[in-house]
C-alpha cells in the first residue's frame, strides 16, 4: 500500500464531500479576498488547476470540527451556544463558527502559522467576521461584538491570539457591497476583474490558475 497516496486521496475525497466544499453560493469567508476568484466561482468556471495544495485548508477543517466538538461540553444542551450554525439572507449565506447568545458575541476561528500572527487580524478577516455578525443580526439575534481567534497550527497554547471589536453594521454593509458589485459584473458579459495574486501563490493554491488565461486566471 502506498501510504502517501492513500492518505492524500482520503483527505481530498473527504473534503470534497463536505457541504462547504459543495457550496456554490459565495460566503463571508470570500469577502475582501481575490475579486477574480469570486468572479470565477460565480461564473462556475471549470477548474483549470488540479494540482493545488489543499492540506492547510483540510487541516483547518479538522481543527474547526475538533473545536466544535470540544466546546459543546461548555453548553451541552445548546441553551447558550450556537455552534457551526448555518444562517442565510437574500444577500449571503454562511456558517457561523460560534455565537454566544448571552454575550451577543460572534466568534470566527482562524487557523494560521506562528509567523503569520504579525498580520493578524487582516482587514479581510475583519470584514468576514463583521459580515457573520450581520448574518446573525439578520436572523434575529442581538450582536454586540465580534471576535477573531487565531490558532497557529505550529504553535503552542500561549500563541493563540484573540481579537474582539464591536459589531459594526456599516463595515459589514461595505463588505456585502463589495460582493454585490462582483455579482453584478458576473451577471454580464463584461471582462472579469484583473488578476490580483502572483503566479507563485495561484499556481499552488488556486483552482482557477491558467497560465494561458483562456479559461481561468493567468495571475500576475
Mean pLDDT confidence for 97-120: 96
Against a cut of 0.75, is the pTM above it?
Answer: yes
More confident residue, 60 or 121: 121
User: In 3D, which of 32, 15, 4, 79 has the Cα closest to residue 207?
Assistant: 15
Q: Phi then psi for 161, rounded to 5 degrees?
A: -115, 140
Domain count across the chain: 1
Q: Does any domain span residue 220?
A: no
pLDDT score at 20: 45
Rounded Cα–Cα distance for residues 40 and 170 (Å): 27
Q: In terms of residue numbers, what domain contains 44?
A: 3-205
Mean pLDDT confidence for 7-15: 77
Mean pLDDT confidence for 128-154: 97
Q: What is the mean pLDDT of the chain?
A: 91
**Picking from 4-8, 83-87, 124-128, 209-213, which range would have the lowest pLDDT averaged per residue?**
4-8
Q: Does any domain span residue 99?
A: yes
Listed as own residue / partner, the contacts of 186-190 with beta carbons closer than 8 Å and 24 or more positions apart are 186/39, 186/42, 186/43
Q: How confident is the model at residue 50 (pLDDT cuts 50, 70, 90)?
A: confident
pLDDT score at 24: 54
pLDDT score at 142: 98
Q: Does any domain span residue 213?
A: no
User: In 3D, which of 207, 109, 125 has the Cα closest to residue 161?
Assistant: 109
Q: Does any domain span residue 12?
A: yes
Q: How confident is the model at residue 21 (pLDDT cuts 50, 70, 90)?
A: very low
Q: Does 104 score more than 50 pLDDT?
A: yes
SS3 of 31-99: CCCCHHHHHHHHHCCCCCCCCCCCHHHHHHHHHHHHHHHHHHHHCCCCCCEEEEEEEECCCCEEEEEEE
DSSP string, 168-189: -HHHHHHHHHHHHHHHHHHTSS
Q: Does 101 score more than 70 pLDDT?
A: yes
Q: Phi then psi for 206, rounded to 5 degrees?
A: -110, 125
Q: Does any domain span residue 217?
A: no
H or E segment and range at residue 14: helix 3-17
Q: Does any domain span residue 93?
A: yes
What grid cell was written down for 46?
471549470
Rounded Cα–Cα distance for residues 84 and 96 (Å): 5
pLDDT tens-digit series, residues 152-198? 999 999 999 999 999 999 999 999 999 999 999 999 989 999 999 99
| Residue 98: CATH number of its domain | 3.90.320.10
Residue 152's DSSP bridge partners are 112
Q: Does 128 score more than 50 pLDDT?
A: yes
pLDDT score at 56: 81
Q: Does any domain span residue 216?
A: no
pLDDT score at 18: 60
Lateral strand order in the sheet of 145-152: 81-88, 93-100, 105-112, 145-152, 161-166
Please state the separation of Cα 34 from the chain's center in Å.
12
Mean pLDDT confidence for 31-58: 89
Q: Does any domain span residue 118?
A: yes
Amino acid at each position: 500500500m502506498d501510504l502517501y497516496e492513500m492518505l492524500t486521496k482520503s483527505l481530498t475525497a473527504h473534503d470534497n464531500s463536505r457541504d462547504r466544499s459543495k457550496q456554490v453560493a459565495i460566503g463571508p469567508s470570500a469577502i475582501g479576498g481575490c475579486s477574480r476568484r469570486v468572479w470565477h466561482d460565480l461564473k462556475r468556471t471549470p477548474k483549470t488547476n488540479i494540482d493545488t495544495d489543499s492540506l492547510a485548508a483540510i487541516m483547518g477543517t479538522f481543527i474547526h470540527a475538533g473545536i466544535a466538538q470540544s466546546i459543546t461540553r461548555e453548553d451541552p444542551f445548546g441553551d447558550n451556544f450556537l455552534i457551526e450554525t448555518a444562517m442565510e439572507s437574500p444577500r449571503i449565506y454562511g456558517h457561523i463558527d460560534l455565537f454566544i447568545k448571552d454575550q451577543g458575541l460572534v466568534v470566527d476561528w482562524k487557523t494560521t502559522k506562528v509567523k503569520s500572527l504579525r498580520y493578524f487580524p487582516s482587514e479581510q478577516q475583519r470584514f468576514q467576521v463583521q459580515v457573520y455578525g450581520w448574518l446573525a443580526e439578520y436572523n434575529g439575534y442581538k450582536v454586540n461584538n465580534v471576535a477573531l481567534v487565531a490558532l497557529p497550527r505550529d504553535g503552542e497554547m500561549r500563541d493563540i491570539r484573540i481579537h474582539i471589536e464591536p459589531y459594526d453594521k456599516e463595515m459589514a454593509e461595505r463588505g456585502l457591497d463589495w460582493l454585490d458589485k462582483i455579482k453584478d459584473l458576473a451577471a454580464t458579459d463584461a471582462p472579469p476583474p484583473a488578476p490580483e495574486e502572483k503566479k507563485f501563490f495561484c499556481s499552488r493554491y488556486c483552482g482557477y490558475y491558467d497560465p494561458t488565461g483562456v479559461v481561468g486566471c493567468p495571475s500576475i
